[in-house]
Amino acid sequence: MAIQLGASSSFSSVFSTRSHTHDVFLSFRGEDTRSAFTGHLYWNLLQKGINTFIDDELTRGEEISQALLRAIEGSKLSLIVFSENYASSKWCLDELVHILECRRSKNQMVRPIFYNVEPSDVRNQRGTFGEALAQYERRFKGDMDMVLRWRAALSEAANLSGWHFSGGYEYEFIDKIVEEISAKVKEPTYLDMPKCQVGLDSRVKHILKMLDVEGSDVRMVGIWGIGGIGKTTIAKAVYNTIAHKFDGSCFLANVREYSDQHGGLVDLQNTLLSTIVRQKELKINNVHEGNTLLRRTLRYKRVLLVLDDVNKLDQLCALAGASDWFGCGSRIIITTRDKRLLTAHEVNPIYKARELDDHEGCELFRLYAFKKKKNHDDDEKLWISTIVRYAHGLPLALVVLGSHLCGRPIHEWQAMLDGYKRNHPKDIRDTLKVNYDGLEETVKEVFLDIACFFNGRNTRVVIHILEDCDRNNPKHSIEVLEEKALINVDVYGCISMHDLLEEMGKAIARQESTKLGERSRLWHHKDVHDVLTKNMGTSKTEGIVIKMPTADEICLNPKCFKKMRNLKIFININGWFCGKVDYYPNQLQLLEWRDCPLKFFPRNFNMKNIIQLNMPRSCISRFKSMENLKSLNLSGCKFLTQSPDLSGSPNLEFLDLSNCKRLKEVHSSVGSLKKLVDLNLQKCSNLVRLPGEVNWRSLRSINLNYCTRLESFPEIEGEMKYMTSLSLDHTGIKALPSSIGYLINLRSLVLANCGNLTDLPCGIYALQKLEFVSLNCPKLEKFPKKVDSEVLPTYSKVSHDNNRDSLTKR
- Which residues are catalytically annotated? 95
Residue 575 identity (one-letter amino acid): G
Indicate the burial class of 743 (C-beta count within 10 angstroms; 0-12, 13-18, 19 or more).
Answer: buried
Q: How far apart are the first and last CA of the chain?
A: 60
| Cα separation, 276 vs 301, whole angstroms | 9
| Cα separation, 765 vs 768, whole angstroms | 7
In order of 81, 157, 587, the CA distances from 88 in angstroms are: 13, 16, 101
CA angle, residues 278, 284, 287, in degrees to nearest 5: 130
CA-wise closest residue to 316 among 220, 434, 432, 211: 220
Judge contact between 207 and 239, C-beta under 8 A: no
For residue 261, what is the DSSP state?
A: S
| Cα separation, 182 vs 249, whole angstroms | 13
How is 489-531 classified by DSSP, letter by letter?
A: E-TT-BEE--HHHHHHHHHHHHTT-SSGGG-SEE-SHHHHHHH
How is 725-764 classified by DSSP, letter by letter?
A: EEE-TT----B--GGGGG-TT--EEEETT-TT--B--GGG
Other C-beta atoms within 10 Å of 24: how many?
Answer: 26
Judge contact between 686 and 663, C-beta under 8 A: yes
| Cα separation, 356 vs 344, whole angstroms | 29
CA-wise closest residue to 635 among 687, 673, 683: 683
| Cα separation, 709 vs 730, whole angstroms | 9
| Cα separation, 378 vs 764, whole angstroms | 59
Length of the chain as a residue count: 810
Rg (CA), the chain: 39
Helix (H) or strand (E) holding 795: strand 795-800
Indicate the burial class of 83 (C-beta count within 10 angstroms; 0-12, 13-18, 19 or more).
Answer: buried
